[in-house]
Amino acid sequence: MGEVRMYRILVVCTGNTCRSPLASILLEEAFRRKGLAEQVVVDSAGIFAARGQSISSGAMQSLDKRGLEEAAKRHRSKPVEHHELSLVDLILVMTREHKLLSLRTRRIRLTKCIRFVNT
């Protein structure tokens, strides 16, 4: 029997200090609760992120209320690495602009990159 391939999700926003880390930590927790933590890897990055920033205070408060403060404390922002886009199975973006920038920077399938909230 072969090795099980991990399904990789990348959540993208602008600065990787608020929306995308919040979403990625909540997704990780949801997969953990469903018993899928060993099969799904969730990460986050920002289109214009500076490397090494902490999560925003608002996101920290939201995660703290859910008992996820340790994951929030470990987060450090990072920019989208363009080679990474072709390695993930799904890219969740926050806005239409994030999607356009993600698609423009690498040739990836349109169906691989979707808006997280369709508003």
Question: Percentages helix, strand, coil for the chain, rounded to the nearest 5?
Answer: 40, 20, 40
Confidence of residue 119 (pLDDT cuts 50, 70, 90): very low
Q: What is the pLDDT of residue 25?
A: 98
Q: What is the pTM assigned to this prediction?
A: 0.85
For residues 117 and 36, is the Cβ–Cβ distance under 8 A? no
The 10s digit of each residue's pLDDT in 107-118 is 555 456 556 665
Number of structural domains the chain divides into: 1
pLDDT average, residue stretch 75-100: 85
Q: What is the pLDDT of residue 86?
A: 80
In a domain, 1, yes or no: no
Q: What is the pLDDT of residue 81?
A: 86
Which string of DSSP letters, residue by residue, matches 59-79? Answer: HHHHHHHTT-HHHHHH----B
Length of the chain: 119
pLDDT average, residue stretch 17-39: 96
Backbone angles phi, psi at 62, to 5 degrees: -65, -45
pLDDT for 27 beyond 50: yes
The 10s digit of each residue's pLDDT in 33-71 is 999 999 999 999 998 899 999 999 999 999 999 999 999
In a domain, 2, yes or no: no
Parent domain of 87: 7-115
CATH number for position 26 = 3.40.50.2300
